[in-house]
């Protein structure tokens, strides 16, 4: 597998006027979570301190700590059980696992654009074709469903979405996301939805999740954005298709063994409490 060096594309070009300095490769604004740029401290989350009886030597559940998976299901309003949730070292790993198990050399993926560069880079690394589906400003930064349907070929295996979208901030309605899933279903295509920004709708209802709409939907997310805890490497993926979850688990085993940090799981369990 060959991975080229990162290339700053339209993802950051759009962000140029929103605080990203392309030339200096740095953000020029403070955290949106705290206007003074302060970060969470462990004591803010674990107010009673670290549980001293937390076992750190023995490996935990290979899918992730069961109470944490229960809380992920509840907090994200997923219509699946804990057995369909795999805890990972963040959304990046979740996306990697999903794309790695679903794409073979010669396959094609249709990818939300503009969006995070990871799926494009991974398609190249996996020797799979990459086709962008452009978001249209005249459609409120939505996608043209007819265009999406026209991009599908016999080689298409995955449609990748960023929902809610970064950098445009656009979200699909339930009907719009269902329409995408219907196009995918006609061809047996999986829909991977990076939902790391789901929960930042502020004054709107929680955006729909692909896992609740489509049996071949794969939702990925973490506590990095909505809770501002990117330093805690804790994410997950979920799907109605248990076979996909198990295949991701098998690959994850050879990358990070059974689990993520038990301490990170404990912090996430506290942070996700209502």
Q: How confident is the model at residue 6 (pLDDT cuts 50, 70, 90)?
A: low
By mean pLDDT, which of 7-16, 37-46, 74-83, 197-206 is the weakest?
7-16
**Are the C-beta atoms of residues 101 and 244 closer than 8 Å to each other?**
yes
Which segments of the chain are extended strands (E)?
20-21, 26-27, 85-88, 108-113, 129-136, 142-143, 156-162, 190-194, 217-222, 235-239
Q: Which two tokens stand for residue 123?
A: 């398609």
Question: CA dist 140 to 135, 173, 195, Å?
Answer: 8, 12, 19
What are 93-143's pLDDT values in tens digits? Answer: 999 999 999 999 999 999 999 988 999 999 999 999 999 999 999 999 999
Count of CB atoms situated within 10 Å of the CB of 160: 28
Q: Which two tokens stand for residue 54?
A: 């937390």
Return the domain boundaries, the chain: 10-271
At 87 the three-state DSSP class reads strand
pLDDT at 32 > cutoff 50: no
What are 212-269's pLDDT values in tens digits? Answer: 999 999 999 999 888 888 878 899 999 999 999 999 999 998 888 766 788 888 888 8
CATH class of 10-271: alpha beta
What does pTM read for this prediction?
Answer: 0.85
Return the pLDDT at 116.
Answer: 85
């Amino acid at each position: 597998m060959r991975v080229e060096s990162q290339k700053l594309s339209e993802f950051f070009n759009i962000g140029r006027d929103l605080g990203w300095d392309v030339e200096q490769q740095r953000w020029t604004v403070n955290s949106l979570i705290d206007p003074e740029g302060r970060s969470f401290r462990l004591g803010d989350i674990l107010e009673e301190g670290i549980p001293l009886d937390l076992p750190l030597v023995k490996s935990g559940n290979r899918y992730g700590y069961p109470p944490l998976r229960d809380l992920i299901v509840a907090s994200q309003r997923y219509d699946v059980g804990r057995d369909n949730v795999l805890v990972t070292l963040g959304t990046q790993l979740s996306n990697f696992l999903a794309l790695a198990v679903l794409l073979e050399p010669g396959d094609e993926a249709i990818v939300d654009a503009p969006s995070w560069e990871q799926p494009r880079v991974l398609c190249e690394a996996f020797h799979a074709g990459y086709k962008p589906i452009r978001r249209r400003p005249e459609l409120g930064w939505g996608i043209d469903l007819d265009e999406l349907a026209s991009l599908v070929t016999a080689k298409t295996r995955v449609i990748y979405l960023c929902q809610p979208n970064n950098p445009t901030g656009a979200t699909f309605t339930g009907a719009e996301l269902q329409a995408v899933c219907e196009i995918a279903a006609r061809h047996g295509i999986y829909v991977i939805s990076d939902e790391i920004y789901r929960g930042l709708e502020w004054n709107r209802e929680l955006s729909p999740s692909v896992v609740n709409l489509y049996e071949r939907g794969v939702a990925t997310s973490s506590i990095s954005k909505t809770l501002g805890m990117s330093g805690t490497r804790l994410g997950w993926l979920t799907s109605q298709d248990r076979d996909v979850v198990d295949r991701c688990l098998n690959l994850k085993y050879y990358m990070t063994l059974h689990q993520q940090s038990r301490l990170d799981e404990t912090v996430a369990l506290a942070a996700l409490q209502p």
